[in-house]
Structure formats: structure tokens, C-alpha cells
Chain A
């Protein structure tokens, strides 16, 4: 049963009205979660001007429902059965979940969060994309934040499989595509999966909202996988929330020399599950003996010439000048590169550099 009760709508409105103040408070306490679990009366009293008290008293649930309907959203409150059960395990479950798209996407038993740095490297983006695609193929919904970089790469990867039902959790209103450059991705998410937010429609995110959003990502997913993160990355807070909830955390290993992987390598050192591919994720999620794990496709043998080329690309020598020194032999190399691309072993980046792809197994 969908819908939201008056009390929950009123609380959502209150949180929205206090957002600017919470931004200050967040920096003082470092964790907004504690603030969000305070009862309404305490929250109202926090505003010294009294304006929020007036607004709280004058709140009209009917008008709030109108606004939600006008934005094309569905509201689920924590008092109703349709509310995702996993979220109730949070210390501060959001009063109302605003959903754009299909609510059914939230009902899956096992969903996996794939998160990571906004400024991903081509390695991180490629892994996120492969994981998104692999999980979609295994019928596991991918939860992420639709942010630039790893988050959107995971969603884009999921959409490469026709049966994907991905979920995005936004920091602002569920009817506002953020970041704006991911509008097309947002539209696809709404059409095939769903986009959710705890804040009212039209709400523009404050900084604390992104951390609060991360707790929802961790809360919705049975397993959180961090693909690439620096030591200070926000995606590590998602892993923290998952750990607090007692859920599994996985991380993708990266070069120890890369600062873009320092956060994930630290997670691994602290005991997070090692994620090398979709199989590892499914093992973490369902246990090693789970029947849904498909056997790895057999390795396709490739010609020694292509193998050498692939080795060079794997070592990071992806530009034409690095792959050949003889202008006469370049045509052969060009042909072989496309050959490797057609086999899903390399991908051509914008501009013309080749990187290792994870679509096919060497």
C-alpha cells in the first residue's frame, strides 16, 4: 500500500524547512544522522526565530500531497507496508520516501549499491560499468547515487542489459535531475527503474543531504561495493553506513600508487570483501555456493600478435604512437585494435586512447 500519513508528511516538510540550519549543525556534529533521528518537537525548538514553529503548526497535508502528485512522484511513508523494510533498520529512517518511476524496483530482496568517486579514472569507470552490467544480467538491482563518475557509470552499465531495474537515490528532490548533465540518465532511470529521495519535490540539496543520501543508499542495498575512492571520498561514508547496519561491504582493489584507489585499498585492508568482477559480488551477496552464480565464460584463446597488443594496452600504452613505431606497420595495428574492440577486450576512449575493457575475458 502506497501513500503517506499526515505526520510523516509534516516531518518531511519540517526537515526541508530546517535544511539550511542542518547544514550548519552538520559541520558541528559531523553526522547528520543523529540530528535526523531527533523527534519533531526537539527539531522545531532548534529554530530560534520561531518561523519554523509557525510553519509546522500551519502545515497542510492535503497541499503536500497535491505537490507530490503534481511532481509525478509517489510517496511511501514509514508507517505503511510498501515502505522498503531494509530502511527501517536505520537509526533514522526517512519519514517519507518520494519515488519517481516504478515502486516495484524497491521491493527486490537483494540489491547492490555501487558507489565511488565522481572523478573516476578510466579503470574505475570501466569496472563500475562492467559490474553494473553483470549485476543487471544476474537480475540484481543496482543502487547508486547518479553522481558523475563511478555512480553513473554503474547505472549506464546496468542499462546495457535489457532487464535492468536500477535505483538511484538523490540528495535533492526526486523530481530534480542532479547533476543536470545526467538528465538523460535520469529519464531512463525513471522509465525503467526508479529515482528516490527523502526530501520533498523541488528541494535543492544542501551539503548534508549528500551524506544523508549515502545512508539511504547503504540502507536500501544488502551489499555496498566501493569501486574507486580517494581517502576523503564521500563514498566511504556509504561504506561506513553499511557497516553500521551490519551489511557487507566490498571494494575493488586498485594500484597502491594511485590516490584514486587509496580509499578502497584501505577498506580492503580493514576487511572489506575483494571485488574483482560480478562473480565476487554475487559470492559476497549470496554466499559462495549460491546457484545463481554463473560459471565464468571459458577464456577465448587469442593470437600471439593480438595478445602482445593487449598486453601493451593493459600496461597503459594505449595511444597509437606507443603501440607502434613503424608507420608501415600501423595499418596492421589499427586493424588489430578494432579486432580487439569487437571482442570486447579493449575500449576506445574519447580522443583515441585504448583502455582494457571487461566485456570479454582474455
Chain B
């Protein structure tokens, strides 16, 4: 036999694309050519494949070998093609005659023939199922992750010869450990009860978690802004199975994940030097950015004023839409970015606060100009985080996350019910139009809003943001209508950049 074909999958953005690996072996000067828009890692794969085949006790044919990766117009990257390449060479040279048609293969090889782990196994397994294959052959360390997808047989292997024997039917595949849905993840999730001296701020966190509202924390360094932000994921309602699968797939693609289902909502806090494509995804071969890795979780931007303007500009639309569309060359990729944003900032560049501050007027003006950037009008809730007094540190202990989460989950359920059929999941996503029909505010509540407006305490944009937060406060209080009290509470949590213009 001089021709063989093996099916594999390559992760493209956040989805797996089907790739066919064909090999043709004929007489001629010994050569090993890979065609089909393969990147450097795949061209280097030839050396790994050659060594792995020989070291596994098979023969590497001294003939002219041509391997084609189809479809030819898709750029292929990454080391996951090693195992398919080795198997297709073995099949084409007659050393492997098993049923390859119903089986997809993915894996990296070492020179000894050991099969190494790859990224994105879950996405690949979903692709395998979508294309109707019965089996997926992959590194054993990824088997448990792939087994989250029902209806396909997962063959986890550790050696090239093991893969060959399994395909030949000479040995049974090693059993996949059953997907353990309750396995605790490494380390304790940070809990709200670790927080001391900030009891007054807890309702702000509660509202942000209950309505999915983006949150702004303003205050001097060392007061606990980061600590509070890290605890927001623990307040969010538990992920649905569908969300958990999505998060697992994304983390697996990014190589952040150890196997099994991710149950905990992600928390990402990129450094402020991050580029626009690092934040929302992109690059020559587009990869997901931090916003996508924080999908269904919390994206924390500490020192908001230090982020570059292009990066923040780029984040604006994804925050609104819950997804980002990246166009590179002829390829269009849509990445999910449904995150709760937490932004934090010092009151001034030196961070010392008013009395001890040594910043000049110009420093301060520059800091505030950078702050008043594009993201602020996406933020509904804002609080000042001050330095707690000694007495507050001693006496104030926050309740455990689980205690608050009960009420938050109930508030979310009310939202889900109200938003049925709109495709939205929480109050923070309500547009101005939907807000009018769904907020259910009493006439007195509207009057309270206009009174705030007349007091000059409200910009036109701030109007909708207050109403959204008021709706969440009503949901938390299990109240069908938004009352003036809710409006007033929401107003005391608002963020308005109007006050910035005078403060310099």
C-alpha cells in the first residue's frame, strides 16, 4: 500500500477544524515532504516523526514520502500533528493496517515515541463528535477531558507503539478514568470571609455579582482592591454545565487546564502593559485574549489608567457584545467575551491620597484624563475603597461567599425568568430599549431619576446605568417593581465621569 489517510483536528481560535492527513509513498530519492500550509512546528515534526518511528521499533521507509494536509487553504500550526503524521506514514508503508476511517488522531511525539500532551482536547473531541467519528485517539493525560464529550470512544495512549497496537486491535485501550464532576480543583477558592474591615462595601459586590454589573474600585494602594476583586468569582452563581464546558474548552486551548471539568469561574488579571491583541485576542495566527479566557468569569484590570488607550478601546465593544470578531487576512473568527469587568485605580499617580499626595496639578490632570477613557461608560457600579481603621480590621469580618451567593442566585433566577426570549442573561446586558419595557419602575421611581438629573448629579448616559442597577437591587430584595428607594440606592453606587472634569 502506498497511500493512506488519517483524520485529525486542529484548533482554530476556539473551534476545532477537521484536517485530513494524506501520505503518498513512492520510489525515488529518500525524502519526506509536508505540503498544505504547514507552519514551522509541523515541518519540524518530520524529524520527530522519523525518530519516534525508528525508536518505537518500526521502519522509516527510505522512499519518497509526500504528506498533504487538507484543506490546503487553512494555515496549520502546532505540534498536534506529530502522531497523525507518524500513523499515516506507518499506514502508507504497510506497517499499520487497522480501521483508521472512523478514528481521529491528535498528539505530539517525543523522539523516543512517547505521546505528549496537547492543548484544546475538549474542542477537538467536540469536533470529532460533530463530524460523526466514533473514536478519538489522543494523549492519555487528555483522555479525561475529551471524555466529557458523550457518544465518542476516547483512546488515551502514552506511546506510539501503543497507539499502533490499539488501532490494530491487538490490545484494548487503557480505560479512561470516569469524568469526576465533583473533583475539587487545586487550592481553595478565595472566599469573601477573608475580607476584613470592608463590610460597607459588600452590598456593592453583591449587586455587581447579582446583576453582572461591571465594577470600579477606586482607592489608594494597599487597601484591598485586588483582594475584593479576587473574591467576586466566588459570589457569582455556579456555572451551568454548558458554561462549564465552554470554560473548560477555552482554558484547555490556552493550555491553562489540568484535565477534567473546570467548575470554578475564571479570574484573569492581565498586567497593564498588555497589548490590544493580548487583551481581546488576535495576532498573526489569532489566539484568544484575556477577555476570552475570562469568559463567564471576572476580568480584573488593576491600575486602569496605566493600560494603553488602544487596549482599552479594543475592549469596549467586546464588553458590550459578549463576543469579539477578529479578522485576519481572509479569516474571520468570533471569540466569546462574556465577562464581568472589575477595574481598579489609584486616586492619583503617587497613590498616597489627598493629604499626603505629592502629585502636581498636571500629573493629576493627566491621570484623570487617562481614566476618563472609553471603558468608564461600561461600568455601572463604583465604590471608593479606603484604608480601614484598626477597629474596623478587628471587628468587621465579611460573611462567607456561600451566604451571599444564595440571595445572588435567587436574584439571577428572577432575571433569567424576566429575560426569557431576549437572549440575555443578566440585568447588566439590558439595552436602553429593553430597559424601558422590562425594568418595571414605578412612576415615582422615574420621578426620582429626573430629580437626580435636575440636581446635576446625573449625565444622560448615567440614567440607564442607574436604572439597571436599581433593577438588580429590586431583584435582590425580591421586589417586582423598582421603587424610588432602589433608585436612590443605585445612585449612591453610580460612577459618573462628570465629576472628573472639575476635580483636576
Contact = CB atoms under 8 A, between A and B. Distances in A.
Given A334-B203, A351-B219, A321 B197 contact: yes
A88 B342 CA distance: 58
B497 interface: yes
A332 to B, nearest CB: 9
A351 B497 CA distance: 9
A331 B497 CA distance: 23
Interface in B453-504: 455-457, 473, 485, 487-489, 491-497, 499-504
B494 A348 contact: yes
B204 to A, nearest CB: 7
Contacts of B384: 318-320, 349, 351-353
B203 A330 contact: yes
Interface in B328-381: 345, 347, 354-355, 359-362, 364-365, 368-369, 371
Contacts of A318: 384
B258 interface: no
Contact of B457 (A160, A330, A341): A341
A320 B200 contact: yes
Contacts of A69: none
B383 A352 contact: yes
A325 B396 contact: yes
Given A148-B365, A341-B491, A125 B199 contact: no
B488 A352 contact: no
Interface stretch (B96-104, B231-239, B385-393): B385-393
Interface residues of B, number: 60
Given A148-B362, A319-B384, A322-B386, A349 B369 contact: no
B484 to A, nearest CB: 9
A258 interface: yes
B395 interface: yes
Contacts of A351: 216, 218-219, 345, 347, 382-384, 495
Contacts of A358: none
A326 interface: yes
Given A319-B383, A324-B200, A325-B396, A179 B365 contact: yes
Nearest to B203: A330
Contacts of B197: 321
B198 interface: yes
Contact of B500 (A118, A121, A319, A350): A350
Given A321-B201, A325-B199, A348 B361 contact: no
A181 interface: yes
B74 interface: no
Nearest to B484: A335
B493 A352 contact: yes
Interface stretch (A149-157, A205-213, A272-280): A149-157
Contacts of A125: 502-503
A228 B107 CA distance: 70
Contacts of A334: 203, 488-489, 492-493
Given A156-B502, A331-B489, A342 B451 contact: yes
Interface string A299-327: 00000000000000000001111111111
A258 B355 contact: yes
A233 B496 CA distance: 31
Nearest to A327: B202
A65 B451 CA distance: 50
B502 A121 contact: no
A217 interface: no
A333 interface: yes
Nearest to A150: B361
Interface in B169-220: 197-204, 206, 216, 218-219
A352 B495 contact: yes
A161 interface: no
A119 B364 contact: yes
A244 interface: no
Contacts of B399: 327
Interface string A280-309: 000000000000000000000000000000
Given A338-B489, A344-B455, A333 B499 contact: no
Contact of B499 (A147, A160, A348): A348
B409 interface: no
B38 interface: no
A335 B488 contact: yes
Interface string B212-230: 0000101100000000000
Nearest to A347: B499
B358 to A, nearest CB: 10
A332 B473 CA distance: 12
Nearest to B392: A325
B451 to A, nearest CB: 6
B503 A350 contact: yes
Interface string A240-265: 00000000000000000010000000
Of B219, B347, B489, B502, which is in contact with the most chain A CB atoms at under 10 Å from its CB? B502
A351 B206 CA distance: 18
A15 interface: no
B435 interface: no
Nearest to A184: B501
Interface string B129-167: 000000000000000000000000000000000000000
A146 interface: no
A339 interface: yes
A337 interface: yes
B499 A349 contact: yes
A37 interface: no
Contacts of A350: 218, 368, 371, 495-497, 499-500, 503
B452 interface: yes
Contacts of A335: 485, 488-489, 492
Interface of B: 197-204, 206, 216, 218-219, 345, 347, 354-355, 359-362, 364-365, 368-369, 371, 382-386, 388-389, 392, 395-396, 398-399, 451-452, 455-457, 473, 485, 487-489, 491-497, 499-504
30 contacts: A117-B361, A118-B360, A149-B361, A152-B502, A319-B386, A320-B200, A321-B198, A321-B199, A322-B386, A322-B389, A323-B200, A325-B199, A327-B200, A327-B206, A327-B398, A330-B200, A330-B203, A333-B492, A334-B493, A338-B488, A338-B491, A338-B492, A342-B455, A350-B499, A350-B503, A351-B382, A351-B383, A351-B384, A353-B384, A353-B386
Nearest 10 A-B pairs (CB), nearest first? A351-B218, A118-B361, A334-B492, A338-B488, A321-B200, A319-B384, A319-B386, A119-B361, A334-B489, A327-B202
Given A148-B365, A323-B200, A327-B200, 16 more contacts: A119-B361, A119-B364, A122-B354, A125-B503, A160-B456, A181-B369, A321-B197, A321-B386, A338-B452, A341-B492, A344-B455, A348-B496, A351-B218, A352-B383, A352-B495, A353-B218
